[in-house]
Amino acid sequence: MSFKQKLEKIVKKNNSLLCVGLDTDLEKIPQYLKNYENPIFSFNKQIVDSTHNLVCAYKPQIAYYSALGIKGMRSLLKTIEYVKTKHPEIPIILDAKRADIASTSEQYAKEVFDVFMADAVTVNPYFGLDALIPFLQRKDKGIFVIGRTTNRSANDFQDLMLNGKPLYMHVAEKVVRWNKTYNNCLMVVAATWDNELKKIRKIAPDMFFLVPGIGTQGGDLNKVLKNGLRKDKSGLILNISRAIIYSASNKEFGKSARQKAQEYKDLINKYR
């Protein structure tokens, strides 16, 4: 089963466009977990156990794990193994933003898909197609190409005009063309730029977009859904991290995370 098929299936099963971001910061998890042998995994396990029937994906951000060295990377691997064992229908998107010269990208693709066993990965398009081919050749995987990011300085480069169009639109058009060949391209389009989301949806009417920026970062959910949904009221993976996973800092954090995830899922479906 391809990533896209797996994604479509879980969206329908859980009736959800919600993705929970596992941006697990050791400094922010409940204090009592820090006495555990593997506090990061213990935290992630409770989040997954509490939310698995409310989501369409989980998205760990690799920096939160690599910053802890080998121990953190083991926690990441154990988290992914746990989801794949207990909830194999839920896809894992590894937010790694990888790309480099072709030979290095080959190694990155092995890292993401063979070592960490992710179902999908985020990649940086600015090296060009040859840097992405090692990822795109993994036909059963999902390749999320960065289109428009959430950060305030995104317009430093992404809005630069080139032949009458901003650079991010040139990237989006390339992704649409690449997808005709590889059929496993998706895009990252930030919730904080809903007008840009609308423009990209026009040229990619059938594509799934990973949309960060709802919740703590302040993206307008109603506008995102209005401008980004496909005609079938699907096509978005709405990632929410901190607002869900850090909604409580005591032993009830799993219960609180479920409550927040339910609220976001219901709100998304209300506007859909």
226: annotated active-site residue: no
CA distances from 251 to 28, 43, 49, 60 (A): 13, 10, 14, 22
47 CB-contact burial (10 Å; exposed 0-12 / middle 13-18 / buried 19+) = buried
Q: Which entry of 78, 84, 97, 223 is annotated as an active-site residue?
A: 97
Q: Name the DSSP letter for residue 114.
A: I
Count CB neighbours of 106 within 10 A: 15
CA separation for the pair 177, 268 (Å, rounded):
30
CA separation for the pair 24, 39 (Å, rounded):
10
Q: 33: which 2 tokens?
A: 């977990």
Find, among 182, 127, 171, 118, the residue nearest to 148 by Cα: 171
| Complete DSSP assignment for 197-253 | HHHHHHH-TT--EEE--BSTT-B-HHHHHHHH--TTS--EEEEE-HHHHTS--STTH
The catalytic residues are 97
